[in-house]
A = this chain, B = another copy of it.
Amino acid sequence: MASRPLLTDDKLSPLAREVFDDIRATRGTDYINNFWRALAHDPETLKATWERLKGLMGAGALDPLVKEMVYIAVSAANACEYCCHSHTAAAKAKGMTDEMHNELLAVIGMASQTNAMATALQVPVDEIFEV
Binding site for B on A (CB under 8 A): 1-6, 31, 33-35, 38-39, 41-42, 45, 48-49, 52-53, 56-57, 60-62, 66-67, 69-89, 97-126, 128-131
Contacts and interface: CB of A to CB of B under 8 A. Distances in A.
Given A2-B123, A4-B131, A104 B74 contact: no
Contacts of A119: 76, 78-82, 84
- The binding surface of chain A is classed by DSSP as helix
Contact of A118 (B5, B67, B82): B82
Contact of A105 (B48, B75, B121, B125): B121
A128 to B, nearest CB: 7
A117 B103 CA distance: 11
**Count of chain copies:** 6
Contacts of A73: 70, 73-74, 77, 120
13 contacts: A42-B106, A49-B113, A53-B114, A61-B97, A69-B70, A74-B74, A74-B112, A84-B121, A85-B125, A105-B120, A109-B116, A110-B113, A113-B113
